Structure formats: structure tokens, C-alpha cells
Structure 1
Amino acid sequence: MSLAQGRLQEERKNRRKDHPYGFFARPEPSGEGSSNIMKWNAGFPGKKGTDWEAGVYKVSMDFSAEYPAKPPKCKFVPPLFHPNVYPSGMICLSILNDGEEGDWRPAISIKQILLGIQYLLDNPNPASPSQSEAIHLYTNDKPAYKQRVRPEAEKNKL
């Protein structure tokens, strides 16, 4: 078993004991009762009191053989209208970047990643735009931005 697989097995065990209400994260089924420990399906509810509250947001997490030295690639499925989400669904968040530009540390857990993404939904980072229309509305017309966000929550209801 590789270092990455061992760490992900440990994360899986810990998730069963400790995860915030409404959050989920599990390896993707790969058929015949087995699962792919290197690819996870995860999700979380929008925070109460925010425009995202009504939805449950699904995230695909792809881990490389270099995990935990390198962060997983995380993307919303389906993609969201958000200043820090690329049209492909890829999430632009500092804790998901390694190197000089990023804040990734091997000690960051899947739980912490999901909490960070949940926080990002209602607290976009204008310094790191990924969608031109979303960042334009967010910085120049907050009421119009909020109007565009509400359908995202509706679209992502369970």
C-alpha cells in the first residue's frame, strides 16, 4: 500500500467518527463491491443564513500518488456560478494549491478541505477570480450576484 493509499484509508476511518452534520465523503465505487480510494465523492450543505443554504454541493476529489505531499484536485459536480470556480467546476482555493502561490500542507484533512470550500461559497476571494461574469457581478452588483446564486442553491437541493 502506498503512502497516499494509507493516508486515505486513515481519513476514511476518521470520517466515520468525525464529520460535520450534512457532510459526506467516500471513495468512489469502482464496481463489484470495491472502491477507488484515490477518487472520492464528497459534499456538504450550504451554510445556514447564506444564499447557498438550501443546497447540497457535490465535490469530486482526485488524489494523486503524491498525496499528501500534493493536494487533491477538487471540482464541483455540476459546476457552480461562483467567482472562484472555473467553468469546468475546478475550485480555486489557496489550501488546494501547493508551491509559492498556495497554502497546502500535508496535515490538511478532507474534513478541513470541505469546510474551507463551504466557507468559500459565501466568502469569495476577489483576488483569485476564476469566472469573469461571477466576479464582475460580485464586485460591481451584489444584488444581481445574489440573484444568480439563489438558483444555484435550488438546482443543488437534494
Structure 2
Amino acid sequence: MASVALARLGEERRNWRRDHPPGFFARPEKTASGETNLFRWRCSIPGARGTRWEGAFVPLTMEFPREYPAKPMKCKFPAGFYHPNVYPSGTVCLSILNEDEGWRPSVTVKQVALGIQELLDNPNEKSPAQSDAYVTYTTDRAKYERRVREEVAKYPPPE
């Protein structure tokens, strides 16, 4: 299966280079020996304009299994990232990343990145992953907004 995954990831990389959303970043990591590791990508998800997340450029790691694209990648923000649909470990809870829900082998890196950007400002109340952020989001929106502004400040634009 790894050869299928490598072929698909090579295609994803070429497609991303040709056509990726403005402000987004996604690139396979380099190994200690300088080789490209297509199974682990470093990304940055910008907060969408006109949203409470505008101005943030949040680092994200995409880890692809050897069974990709039959199985979805895992996407992780930094541990402790404050959001109702992000586990304390940083793992993003999104239906298109769930093998038993919305994942389809045709889902692309670009679609996942855009889905995560959309999730930032539009949490899914039916799929909480972090109790503190979820409770605050559902009970005290002003406090949630203040906390999001603190989070945005942690992830300024790259220089």
C-alpha cells in the first residue's frame, strides 16, 4: 500500500504547488538525512478574512498513514490549541478526517486545509473535542471571543 500512498502524495504535492489557496502553506518535511518525507507535512492555516481568527497563521502537521488514501491523514495543531473541535493533544476533530464519517479517498490536501480554516470560525457544537473551549463557546460567547483573540496573538504572520 505504501507505493499507492507515495504516488498519491506525490500527486498531492504537485497539485498543491500549482494551485493552493492564498496565505496557506503546506510542504513535506525533510528527514535528518535531507530526504523528503511525503508522509509528514508542515502546514500553516491562516485565519480567514473578516473572522475572529483573521491575522492568525496556525501551524498544523498532517501525518499520512501508509494506507493513504484509503485511510485519512491526521491533522494536528500545537498541543493545547484552544478550539471546541480540537483535542487537548492538538488533533483536529473534523468529519472529513474521520474514516467512519466523511472521509473519502478523493478528498484532497487542499480540501482538508480549507475545511480546517472553515472549522476555526465555525465550530461544530455536535462534535466537541475540548470541554473548556466547548463550554465557553456555548455559554459565554464574549469570553470565548477574548480567548480566541489571545490564541490569534500566539500565531502571527510569518516574516
TM tier relative to shorter chain:
over 0.9
The code of the aligned residue for 1:19 comes to: H
| TM, length-normalised to structure 1 | 0.95
Tell me, yes or no, if the aligned pair for 1:95 and 1:113 is still in contact at 8 Å: yes
- 3-state SS in 2 of match to 1:37: strand
**Structure 2: tracts of 5 or more residues without a match:** none
Tell me, yes or no, if the aligned pair for 2:85 and 2:94 is still in contact at 8 Å: yes
| CA distance in 2 between partners of 1:118 and 1:138 (Å) | 17
| TM, length-normalised to structure 2 | 0.95
TM-superposed CA distance for 1:35, in Å, is: 1.4
**Aligned residue for 1:5?**
6
TM-superposed CA distance for 1:78, in Å, is: 4.8
**Aligned residue for 1:67?**
68
In the TM superposition, structure 1's runs of 4+ consecutive aligned residues that sit over 2 Å from their partners are none
Tell me, yes or no, if the aligned pair for 2:79 and 2:88 is still in contact at 8 Å: no
**Aligned residue for 1:154?**
153
**Structure 1: tracts of 5 or more residues without a match:** none
**Aligned residue for 1:124?**
123
TM-superposed CA distance for 1:67, in Å, is: 0.4
- 3-state SS in 2 of match to 1:116: helix
Tell me, yes or no, if the aligned pair for 1:28 and 1:41 is still in contact at 8 Å: yes
**Aligned residue for 1:18?**
19
Tell me, yes or no, if the aligned pair for 1:58 and 1:78 is still in contact at 8 Å: no
Tell me, yes or no, if the aligned pair for 2:80 and 2:88 is still in contact at 8 Å: yes
The code of the aligned residue for 1:153 comes to: V
Tell me, yes or no, if the aligned pair for 1:44 and 1:57 is still in contact at 8 Å: yes
**Aligned residue for 1:139?**
138
- 3-state SS in 2 of match to 1:61: strand
| CA distance in 1 between partners of 2:62 and 2:56 (Å) | 19
* Aligned residues between the structures: 156
| CA distance in 2 between partners of 1:33 and 1:60 (Å) | 18
The code of the aligned residue for 2:18 comes to: K
Percentage of identical aligned residues: 53
Matches within 5 A, 1:53-92: 53-92=54-93
| CA distance in 1 between partners of 2:142 and 2:33 (Å) | 49
For the aligned residues, what is the CA RMSD? 1.1
